[in-house]
Amino acid sequence: MSKQYDILIKNIGQLLTMDDHNGPVKGKAMSTLTVYENMAIAIKDGVIAWIGSNEEASSLSAINTMDAKGKLVSPGLVEPHTHLVFGGSREHEMALKQQGVPYLEILKRGGGILSTVGATKQASEDELKEKAMFHLNRLMSYGITTVEAKSGYGLDAETELKQLRVAKSVNQIHPIEVVSTFLGAHAIPAEYKGKSDEFLEEMLSLLDTIQEEELAEFVDIFCETGVFSVEQSRQFLQKAKAKGFDVKIHADEIDPLGGTELAAELGAVSGDHLVGASDDGIRKLAESNTIAVLLPGTSFYLNKGKFARAREMIEKGVAVAISTDFNPGSSPTENLQFIMSLAALQLKMTPEEIWYAVTTNAAHAINRGHSAGKIVEGLKADVVIWDAPNYAYIPYHYGVNHVNTVIKAGRIVYEGRPTYDKTSIH
């Protein structure tokens, strides 16, 4: 008897497998992409079991045969930078933004991140979990099947651990894989004003518990004017590395302090933002294995008119990923497809570069390069069927959701279509 697959997706117009490279895709290598046409894929027991031509697929049988109708099929997208778990929201700060009050000034006045810290302290673990699940569902609806999630809205032992436990528990119950990062060094709480070194020591003292309870893989810091200096960031991340954590850094987001150079120097798994990265910083990144995670949604939302220099980065040989930076302050959106449009329009990235930036390179930015962001026989089946005729169409047709179907580890987890009964509508 011939093999019975669980799912067979036939009639794929364009298939992106994103498996041409073993490691991160750096610089000019990002400009070429293999596109397979008239393809089919079969899934069995949660993994990709077969990839072949649409003609060959006619001899295969499956419990569920799906017709991609000549459209685009890609790996599930990888979202490498979010602040997923938080209480409250910050729409009340919109008027301040409109009056031109800068992001860092709002923070200085006790708002911004510190406003979300207050709401996160107030929220119970169950409330945070429910809210995180809501946002995960929405991230998934946009085609994302793997997500990084940072803490950083506790800034005290109890609340930071509460956030990390929420991230761990939603990873266990939600289809999306959640990869956790400890960002206790996200802001200086009021009670530590003028004593930021002491605060960093307090956050470092949590690393043993985080390790014992397997609450995070990465340690991150917000290296920024009025928050933590380059030297504080260096020492903090070196200590985290000595404990066995891989590190990330919010670098040169608003002011160009030299965090990009630090990310390369420390061998960080990623340097994130990099809006103010210097030429030297870009050169050092190109020579390193650090992924540049660019967050053009934040530049858009902070409205400063300045975007990361993606073109220079790619020309110099940097591996670039992009992300929503989903958070309640500087980038309240789960729509990674909109970020792909911003990457095209503002970062001047090509469609090919953009696809590496949301799959292969994003996966490497969270140490999932060998398990996520590609379609390969034997690998877990994270697959998106798009309502789009080709891969360039996604960044082009902006602001909407192009997802038709999302499959996570072989299970259909999202179907984006109207539910009205056609026969009853006139």
Write out the residues near Zn ion by the rule CB under 5 A: 325
Identify what 146 binds: Zn ion, ligand IZC, none; CB under 5 to 8 Å per kind: none
| Shortest reach from residue 181's CB to ligand IZC, in Å | 12
Cα–Cα dist 403/384, whole Å:
7
Cα–Cα dist 171/188, whole Å:
28
Which positions touch ligand IZC (CB under 6 A)?
A: 83, 112-113, 116, 222, 250, 253, 327-330
Cα–Cα dist 24/288, whole Å:
11
| Shortest reach from residue 249's CB to ligand IZC, in Å | 11
In this structure, how many other beta carbons lie within 10 angstroms of the beta carbon of residue 301?
A: 18
DSSP code of 76? P
| Shortest reach from residue 327's CB to ligand IZC, in Å | 4
CB-nearer residue toward Zn ion: 84 or 394? 84
| Shortest reach from residue 356's CB to ligand IZC, in Å | 25
Residue number of the CB atom closest to ligand IZC: 329
Answer whether 41's CB lies under 8 Å from 17's CB.
Answer: no
| Shortest reach from residue 351's CB to ligand IZC, in Å | 28
Write a three-state SS string for 131-183: HHHHHHHHHHHCCEEEEEEECCCCCCHHHHHHHHHHHHHHHHHCCCEEEEEEE
- Strand-pair partners of 219: 182, 247
CB-nearer residue toward ligand IZC: 14 or 270? 270
Identify what 112 binds: Zn ion, ligand IZC, none; CB under 5 to 8 Å per kind: ligand IZC
CB-nearer residue toward ligand IZC: 112 or 410? 112
Identify what 207 binds: Zn ion, ligand IZC, none; CB under 5 to 8 Å per kind: none
Residue 221 backbone dihedrals phi, psi, to 5 degrees: -145, 145
CB-nearer residue toward ligand IZC: 233 or 405? 233
| Shortest reach from residue 302's CB to Zn ion, in Å | 12
Identify what 369 binds: Zn ion, ligand IZC, none; CB under 5 to 8 Å per kind: none
Identify what 337 binds: Zn ion, ligand IZC, none; CB under 5 to 8 Å per kind: none
CB-nearer residue toward Zn ion: 325 or 382? 325
List the alpha helices (DSSP H) in 17-78.
54-57
Residue number of the CB atom closest to Zn ion: 325
Order of strands across the sheet with 291-294?
77-79, 144-150, 177-185, 218-223, 246-251, 270-273, 291-294, 320-322
Identify what 113 binds: Zn ion, ligand IZC, none; CB under 5 to 8 Å per kind: ligand IZC
| Shortest reach from residue 232's CB to ligand IZC, in Å | 16
Identify what 184 binds: Zn ion, ligand IZC, none; CB under 5 to 8 Å per kind: none
CB-nearer residue toward Zn ion: 183 or 313? 183
Cα–Cα dist 249/115, whole Å:
22
| Shortest reach from residue 248's CB to ligand IZC, in Å | 12
- Strand-pair partners of 53: 39
CB-nearer residue toward ligand IZC: 88 or 416? 88
Q: Are strands 411-415 and 77-79 parallel, antiparallel or unpaired?
A: unpaired
Identify what 120 binds: ligand IZC, Zn ion, none; CB under 5 to 8 Å per kind: none
Helix (H, G, I), strand (E, B) or coil at 121: helix
CB-nearer residue toward ligand IZC: 165 or 273? 273
Structure tokens belonging to residue 276:
């103010």
Answer whether 97's CB lies under 8 Å from 130's CB.
Answer: no
